[in-house]
């Protein structure tokens, strides 16, 4: 497995809509394994394929150390392909979020407290999952990436511009 390079804002690829995965191959599964290794390397809770420069509707998620819900040992990691949110609660919860593609920034985002998704798993098998609390938040955050939306897009234009200037400055200091 390889660690993949992370795409960070303001890279325009992060603003593009990702395309569905049409077939599952060994190469697709290897890519998902590489995404997972990359997410662990970056200490992330989730990662969307676009965050490593691939515009495909693939997510990997592992919050086993932070999930308040008792789950089977083999529940994580989650490989979520072509996700579709089919239900959302009306109740919104505001919480602080970070993002591998928006380094050194924390932003308050209001999201539905619970969701239900339909998706394909690691082997291309159709699944449904009800999620609430932290897992629901991580799934929604990663699904936003698939639509070309970043957590900073929840900010006012003024605040978003300030964050983008900080990110450009950070990127210039690293390069």
Catalytic site positions? 142
Tokens (6 digits) for 149: 């939306």
Asked whether residue 145 is marked as a ligand-binding residue, the answer is yes
Buried b / exposed e across 127-159, counting CB within 10 Å, b at 16+?
eebebbbbbbbbbbbbbbbbebebbbebbeeee
Q: Specify whether the CB–CB gap between 37 and 2 falls below 8 A.
A: yes
Residue 86 to residues 10, 128, 134, 168, Cα–Cα distance (Å):
30, 9, 18, 36
User: DSSP of 126-156, one letter per residue?
Assistant: EEEEEEEHHHHHHHHHHHHHHTT--GGGGS-
Asked whether residue 143 is marked as a ligand-binding residue, the answer is no
> What residues form the annotated binding site?
99, 141, 145
> What residues form the annotated binding site for Fe cation?
99, 141, 145
């Amino acid at each position: 497995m390889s660690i993949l390079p992370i795409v960070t804002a303001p890279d325009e690829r992060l603003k593009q809509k990702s395309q569905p995965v049409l077939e599952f191959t060994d190469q697709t599964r290897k890519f998902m394994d590489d995404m997972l290794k990359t997410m662990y390397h970056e200490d992330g809770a989730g990662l969307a394929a676009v965050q490593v420069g691939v515009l495909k509707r693939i997510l990997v998620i592992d919050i086993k150390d932070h999930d308040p819900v008792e789950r089977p040992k083999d529940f994580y990691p989650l490989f979520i392909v072509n996700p579709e949110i089919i239900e959302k609660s009306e109740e919104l919860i505001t919480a602080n979020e970070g993002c591998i593609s928006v380094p050194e920034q924390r932003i308050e985002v209001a999201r539905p407290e619970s969701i239900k998704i339909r998706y394909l798993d690691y082997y291309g098998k159709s699944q449904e999952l009800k999620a609430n609390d932290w897992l629901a938040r991580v799934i929604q955050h990663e699904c936003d990436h698939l639509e070309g939306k970043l957590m900073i897009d929840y900010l006012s234009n003024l605040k978003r511009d300030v964050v983008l200037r900080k990110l450009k400055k950070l990127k210039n200091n690293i390069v």
